[in-house]
């Protein structure tokens, strides 16, 4: 009995010790201002309205528990943006899949024949990491990263910006070990891109002139007007990855590798600016296979270089952004078009292939463009676009994420190809008319499509938390003056701490003071009287 009592006492002591540390950890992560249960109604409603055809590791009946513990909380006066924010976390959760090789993130919920192991597809990898980096538990993306490099992910089937996305994740998690251990695999992967291969009868990879070529389909951009060749997409991705690998190498102390990849990035940047920029049209364009002239069409992928801050300051490149405000360019009531509306070949088709990048709006391209626009507004001195343009496009993007049912019920919805004039999901309409047989993938193939970001656009763009690799916190809201009188982003995991960002114009909403404030684990660290850029060092 005494022996058992000793064991019981020891067990009790260990239990209490665990509870002490676990409770301390929970207190460090507790929401400072917002109560999670106040937003549960969103998730409950999404669940009630959902036809849950495909289930993964966190089905609807456990969605709230996962989201409550992992997502940052948003409180804002724009109900459309707020609802869409929670809706996109709700859909992202559906794509977290537990496999024998750990967690992976999927693009489609049903199995599609062009996917790789575990129904994974490399095309939206960058989007998955930029969005998922704000989840409190880092194991999902850490597992996913290892899968793609070491456990059978087909990383080179589609172009992507995987290394850059890993670095973006690091800027939030600050987990150096998780990223530096992957450096040899990232170097090997980059060199495989350089070696290239034959796709669609054409060489895709690094060409003798130093630029990379790709098939538009392998960019996830089927039927694009500009077609295949040396495209702004793949070349921007390879630049972003080279920069990221150089940074990871510096972090690891591998100066030789850092130097090699910095040189690769510098060379590629020079080539993008000199060979893919059309001075007459003020836009980045495709240089087709075996051609010496750029295509005569502006496509929204021409904004991709700003996703990686490639264009230099003061050289006139920012003029390209005037096209997002023009109805002859990309502006449309339900979202940015994939090609300029005045372009020969622009069309919206309900026949033929269900995915066409020759006019319709795609969430993939919209989220890339808005991330790029946030970079312009944060990193460039220019007068072509303003925070009002970002706010307007984000609001349009949020409003487009819905579907009106046959009985006139409006549901939050994210799918594949969008009619920019009516808000109809073109792919869904085509596939439904074909009895869900065309295109493969089964019923509601594109429902809850995980090929874009939204929550990251709110956090790093609209609210303006700009992730950094050092201990700096930078907040630069892109909310136009006199638009919102209050907002709060709470329970944000950043560098191992919990951030709360608050704006309260009159001090009467949250009762923590007037103006823009940032709290770390509940302690006020920065304050400004109005909406403006603020920065400080984490301690």
pLDDT tens across 193-249, in order?
A: 999 999 888 999 999 999 999 999 999 999 999 999 999 999 999 999 999 999 999
Assess whether pLDDT exceeds 50 at residue 17: no
Residue with the two structure tokens 């209490």:
16
Nearest Cα neighbor of 344 from 302, 276, 296, 286 is 296
Q: What pLDDT does 439 receive?
A: 87
pLDDT at 28 over 60: no
Is the pLDDT assigned to residue 74 strictly greater than 60?
A: yes
What distance in Å separates the CA atoms of residue 95 and residue 103, rounded to the nearest whole number?
Answer: 10
| pLDDT (tens digit per residue) in 131-183 | 999 999 999 999 999 999 999 999 999 999 999 999 999 999 999 999 999 99
Predicted TM-score (pTM) of this structure = 0.94
Q: What is the mean pLDDT of residues 271-275?
A: 98
Q: What band does 361 get if pLDDT is binned at 50, 70 and 90? A: very high
Find, among 90, 162, 167, the residue nearest to 127 by Cα: 162
Residues 40-49, mean pLDDT to the nearest whole number: 98
Tokens representing 312 are 């230099």
**Given a cut of 60, is residue 15 above it in pLDDT?**
no
Answer whether residue 19 shows pLDDT above 80: no
Interval 351-371 mean pLDDT: 96
pLDDT category at 477 given cuts 50, 70, 90 is very high
* Average pLDDT of the chain, as a whole number: 94
Q: Residue 2: pLDDT above 50?
A: no
Are 135 and 171 a contacting pair, CB within 8 Å?
no
**Collapsing DSSP states into helix, strand and coil, what is residue 477?**
coil
**Residue 4 pLDDT > 60:** no
In the chain the first and final C-alpha atoms are separated, in Å, by 50
Residue 9, pLDDT score: 39
* Residue-level pLDDT at 30: 52
Q: Higher-confidence residue: 16 or 47?
A: 47
Counting beta carbons within 10 angstroms of the beta carbon of residue 201, is it exposed (0 to 12), middle (13 to 18) or buried (19 or more)? exposed
Question: Is residue 337 within a helix (H) or strand (E), and if so which, with residue range?
Answer: none
Q: At what angle do helices 139-150 and 125-132 cross, to 10 degrees?
A: 160
Q: Please name the residue ranges forming H helices in 341-478.
A: 363-379, 387-400, 426-433, 455-456
Mean pLDDT for 388-417 is 97
> How large is the average pLDDT for residues 497-512?
97
Write down the pLDDT at residue 254. 98
Tokens linked to 152: 């059978």
Element (H, E) at 67: helix 63-70
- Range 30-462 classified under CATH 3.40.47.40: no
Domain with CATH 1.50.10.10 in the chain: 30-462
Per-residue pLDDT reduced to its tens digit, 508-539: 999 999 999 999 999 999 999 999 999 999 98
Query: Given this model, what pLDDT does residue 539 score?
Result: 81
């Amino acid at each position: 009995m005494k022996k058992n009592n000793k064991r019981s006492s020891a067990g009790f002591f260990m239990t209490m010790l665990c509870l002490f540390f676990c409770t301390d950890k929970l207190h460090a992560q507790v929401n400072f201002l917002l109560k999670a249960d106040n937003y549960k109604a969103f998730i409950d409603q999404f669940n009630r309205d959902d036809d849950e055809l495909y289930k993964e590791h966190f089905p609807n009946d456990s969605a709230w528990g996962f989201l409550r513990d992992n997502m940052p909380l948003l409180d804002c006066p724009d109900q459309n943006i707020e609802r869409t924010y929670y809706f996109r976390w709700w859909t992202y959760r559906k794509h977290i899949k537990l496999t024998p090789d750990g967690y992976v993130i999927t693009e489609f919920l049903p199995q599609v024949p062009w996917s790789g192991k575990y129904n994974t597809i490399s095309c939206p990898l960058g989007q998955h990491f930029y969005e998922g980096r704000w989840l409190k538990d880092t194991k999902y993306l850490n597992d996913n990263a290892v899968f793609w490099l070491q456990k059978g992910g087909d990383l080179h089937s589609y172009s992507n910006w995987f290394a850059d996305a890993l670095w973006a994740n690091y800027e939030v998690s600050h987990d150096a070990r998780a990223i530096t251990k992957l450096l040899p695999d990232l170097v090997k992967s980059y060199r495989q891109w350089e070696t290239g291969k034959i796709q669609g009868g054409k060489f895709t990879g690094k060409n003798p002139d130093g630029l990379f070529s790709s098939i538009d389909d392998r960019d996830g951009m089927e039927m694009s007007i500009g077609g295949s060749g040396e495209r702004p997409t793949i070349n921007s991705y390879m630049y972003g990855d080279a920069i990221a690998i150089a940074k990871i190498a510096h972090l690891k102390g591998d100066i030789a590798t850092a130097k090699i990849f910095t040189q690769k990035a510098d060379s590629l940047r020079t080539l993008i600016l000199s060979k893919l920029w059309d001075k007459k049209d003020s836009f980045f364009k495709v240089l087709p296979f075996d051609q010496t002239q750029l295509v005569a069409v502006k496509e929204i992928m021409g904004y991709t270089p700003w996703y990686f801050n490639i264009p230099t300051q003061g050289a006139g490149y920012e003029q390209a952004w005037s096209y997002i405000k023009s109805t002859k360019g990309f502006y449309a009531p339900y979202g940015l078009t994939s090609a300029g509306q005045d372009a020969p070949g622009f069309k919206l088709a309900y026949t033929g292939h269900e995915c066409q990048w020759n006019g319709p709006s795609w969430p993939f391209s919209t989220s890339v463009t808005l991330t790029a626009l946030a970079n312009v507004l944060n990193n460039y001195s220019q007068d072509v676009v303003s925070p009002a343009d970002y706010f307007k496009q984000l609001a349009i993007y949020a409003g487009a994420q819905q579907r009106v049912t046959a009985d006139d019920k409006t549901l939050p919805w994210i799918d594949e190809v969008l009619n920019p004039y009516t808000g109809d999901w073109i792919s869904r309409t085509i596939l439904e008319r074909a009895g869900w047989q065309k295109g493969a993938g089964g019923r509601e193939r594109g429902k809850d499509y995980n090929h874009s970001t939204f929550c990251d656009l709110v956090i790093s763009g609209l609210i303006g938390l700009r992730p950094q690799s050092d201990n700096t916190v930078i907040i630069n809201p892109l909310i136009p003056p006199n638009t919102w009188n209050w907002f709060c982003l709470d329970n944000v995991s950043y560098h191992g701490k919990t951030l709360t960002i608050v704006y309260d114009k009159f001090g009467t909403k949250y009762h923590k003071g007037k103006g823009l404030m940032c709290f770390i684990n509940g302690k006020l660290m920065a304050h400004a009287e109005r909406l403006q850029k603020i920065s400080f060092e984490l301690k």
